[in-house]
Amino acid sequence: MTGGDDVTRFKQWRGGLCKTDRWCVLINADPDALASAMALKRILLNHAHSMEILRINEVTRPDNLAMIRDLRIPVKPWAPEKSAAFSHFAIVDSQPHHNGLFEGISFSLIVDHHSLPPEHAQPSEAFCCIRPEFGSTSTIMAHFLHSLRIRPTTRLATALLYGIRTDTATFERGGSDKDLRAWQWLFRFADLNLLRRIIRSEYLREWLPAFSQAFRSLKDCRGGGVYVSLHHVKSADLLVGIADFFTKVQDLRWVAVSGIVDKTVVVVFRGDGGRDIGRLADACFYDVGTAGGHRMMGRAEFPLAVVPVDVKPADFIFLRLQNRKLRHPRPRDQSA
């Protein structure tokens, strides 16, 4: 999995830890980060005084909420004034330059699978393991557990499986043999009913009224697509949830779901890959806000103020979806 080098270095690093240290692992909470933080907490057991998991973001996605609840992950919100309580900081599934909230903190451990841009040199004091050839940080952590002969608990194994599954899109997004081997090893220890329950937590109960509104608002668009319009919504996660739902309807080539979050209009696009949906998003809305994406997913956001007062936002969007060929899309590399 990782080179033997990483494992040797990691064992040495762990052996040199001080049992009185109070650790904090900072994460941008998503399934991979949550699982990796849990694994690190297990690895530091008996090698530190304590290890707390703190997140810099709000968790709103239903599957992430289910994961935290069902796997009892002790994650708390981060605030800079909490830093005095810790002697050491770790970061998993992110790098210090990824978010302004990580700035100014000196990290003693970094484990990540995103690539390291050359302008961000590896900090010399830290134990640093950045392996872009891995599909997830959960894979790296599983490898560390395996090499340290630590048998994961049911909950930890289940969390790591969900981390791998999410970041590799169930191996559709180029998971490697390393990810597959970690998957096979974890599989033995995991609770598959629990995993299924988390996977299936796609919608919040409070979203259901919005679903009935979505079905009523459905309009056909040319090119085998549909447009769904919602009014004000609390979070764009709901739009993503509804858009993902419609990708499961047979013969529906693409869907655009719009809603208003505060004073911003958000349009979430999903497609079957037959056409470049990011380009479609760009062609429809490039002149009013940010718009773009890739082949199967796209998104546009623009201020509500852009919509003329005597026009309904839904009509404004629908007209643009239907007349998209009249506009001249920007070159691909400039889209958001």
Shortest distance in whole angstroms from residue 210 CB to Mn ion: 29
Distance in Å, CB of 191 to Mn ion, minimum: 22
**Unique residue bearing structure tokens 């909470």:** 29
Q: Which of residues 193-212 bind Mn ion (CB under 5 A)?
A: none
Q: How far is the CB of 112 from Mn ion (least distance, A)?
A: 8
Q: Quick one: 6 or 32, whose CB is closer to Mn ion?
A: 32
Closer CB to Mn ion, 136 or 335, in the complex: 136
The single-letter DSSP state of residue 9 is: H
User: Least distance to Mn ion from the beta carbon of 111, Å?
Assistant: 10
23's enclosing H/E stretch is strand 22-27
Rule CB under 5 A: say whether 179 interacts with Mn ion.
no
Residue 276 touches Mn ion, criterion: CB under 5 A: no
Number of residues forming the site for Mn ion (CB under 5 A): 5
Query: Could you tell me the smallest distance in angstroms from the CB atom of residue 32 to Mn ion?
Result: 3
Give whichever of 93 and 237 is closer to Mn ion, judged by the CB atom.
93
Q: Closer CB to Mn ion, residue 52 or residue 93? A: 93
CB of 221 to Mn ion, least distance (A): 34
Q: In angstroms, rounded to a whole number, what is the distance separating the alpha carbons of residues 130 and 271?
A: 33
- Measured from the CB atom, the residue of 98 and 181 that comes closer to Mn ion is 98
The two three-digit tokens of residue 114, written as one number: 């995103």
In which order are the strands placed within the sheet that holds 127-130?
75-77, 50-55, 22-27, 88-92, 109-112, 127-130
Q: Site mask, Mn ion, residues 125-144, x = CB under 5 A?
A: -----------xx-------
Note whether 93 binds Mn ion by CB under 5 A. yes
Q: What is the closest distance, in whole angstroms, from the C-beta atom of residue 198 to Mn ion in the complex?
A: 16
- DSSP readout, 194-254? HHHHHHH--S-GGGHHHHHHHHHH-EEETTTEEEEEEEE-S-HHHHHHHHHHHTTSTT--E
Residue 167 binds Mn ion, judged by CB under 5 A: yes
Interface pick for Mn ion out of 28, 29, 32, 335 (rule CB under 5 A): 32
Residue 149, classified by CB atoms within 10 Å of its CB into exposed (0-12), middle (13-18) or buried (19+), is: exposed
Q: Which is nearer to Mn ion, 138 or 229 (CB)?
A: 138
Decide if 64 contacts 34 (C-beta within 8 A): yes
9 versus 98: smaller Cβ distance to Mn ion: 98
| Binding range to Mn ion, per CB under 5 A, among 45-53, 93-101, 245-253, 255-263 | 93-101
- C-beta atoms surrounding 264 within 10 Å: 15
- DSSP per residue, 126-140: SEEEE-TTSS-HHHH
Burial 91-126 (b: 16+ CB within 10 A, else e): bbbbbbeeeeebeeeebbbbbbbeebeeeeeeeeeb
Q: List residues near Mn ion by CB under 5 A.
A: 32, 93, 136-137, 167
